Structure 1
Amino acid sequence: MERPVSGRRPLLASFPPLAFLVALALGQLVHRRWPASLPGGVARPLGVLLLAAGGALDAWAIMTHRRAGTSPIPSAPTVALVADGPYRYSRNPIYLAHALLAIGAGLVATRSAWALPAGMAALRATDRWVVPHEERELTEAFGDEYAHYQQRVRRWL
């Protein structure tokens, strides 16, 4: 069912990618003060794996949006409820992809164990300050259809 959802305010829409970039930078700063390096033989391959998984998940979610005729850009109007592709498993696969990308980049760049808590903190901030607004907008636009989707699919995994 197609019902346009007005795009979010630009500041709210830009929060998730900025949160993950800031988390990556803060993880590196904390690592400089309190080094917590993982062995390179573990950290870098794991980081590359997380980067690949995050990139693939992000691409899959974007392609799913395009096939549904709606934009994956948070500030653009939503005209369709996307419930297939990665959205069958998570209501927020793009944010999960961003977390994987941030953690993977941190591991590859410095082998820092701080990459994991930094990425998870950004995901938590997104969960607390962005996702509730998105869910409220989707509930207003899609009503019972979105409520049933929420019952079928977890917010994260």
Structure 2
Amino acid sequence: MFKWIDIPPVWLAGALALAWVQKTHYSYGLTFGPVVADLLGGLLVGGGLVLIALAFYEMRRHHTTIVPHLEASTLVTSGIYKRSRNPIYLGDSLILTGMILYWDSVLALPLIPVFFWVIERRFIFPEEERLRRKFLAQFARYAQQTRRWV
């Protein structure tokens, strides 16, 4: 049961909830500036959604799972995965950053590196270890050619 709750969208929702609470109850009058923050926040959220959609499309095209705790049937290295080994997590991070900007949650900015850290430790490192064991040299080449984030 915990395995199905311990997934990146739940961690993203938790970070977004914390940012919203900070914005709603503890803003202390701090602001990024309305126009710039709204525009940049919207662009980041939109970019994150596009990255996630492209990654989902590529995973489905190769008939492999998007669930982090399950074993992949195929190593996907095409499409958006040529640019980033973790476009879904990168998209999640862009969404979090964009919403923090949009909501003017200045004090929630430390959530971004914390989110990166949690995602790497809970999901990326174990996933890469499973891929390394299953796909051996193919994954080693891919990891050498493609950066983890950008």
Bin of the TM-score, shorter chain as denominator length: 0.7 to 0.9
Q: In structure 1, give the amino acid aligned to 2:68.
A: P
RMSD: 2.1
Q: How does 1:1-157 map to 2 (within 5 A)?
A: 11=3, 14-31=6-23, 32-35=25-28, 36-108=30-102, 110-157=103-150
Shift, 1:96, TM fit: 0.4
Q: What percentage of residue pairs aligned between the two structures are identical?
A: 33
Q: In structure 2, give the amino acid aligned to 1:144.
A: A
Q: In structure 2, give the amino acid aligned to 1:155.
A: R
Shift, 1:115, TM fit: 4.7
Per the normalisation by structure 1, the TM-score is 0.82
Residue deviations 1:9-51 (CA, integer Å, cap 9, x gap): 9528734222222222222334433533211111111111011
Q: Distance in 2 between matches of 1:56 and 1:133?
A: 25
Q: In structure 2, give the amino acid aligned to 1:24.
A: L
Q: Distance in 1 between matches of 2:127 and 2:147?
A: 15
Q: In structure 1, give the amino acid aligned to 2:131.
A: L
User: Residue 6 of structure 2 aligns to a residue in which SS?
Assistant: helix
Q: How many residue pairs align between the two structures?
A: 148
Alignment gaps of 5+ in structure 2: none
Per the normalisation by structure 2, the TM-score is 0.86
Alignment gaps of 5+ in structure 1: 1-8
Shift, 1:55, TM fit: 0.6
Residue 3 of structure 1 is matched in structure 2 by none
Residue deviations 1:103-131 (CA, integer Å, cap 9, x gap): 222333x2222454323321221112321
Pair 1:13–1:155, CA change in 2 (3 A): farther
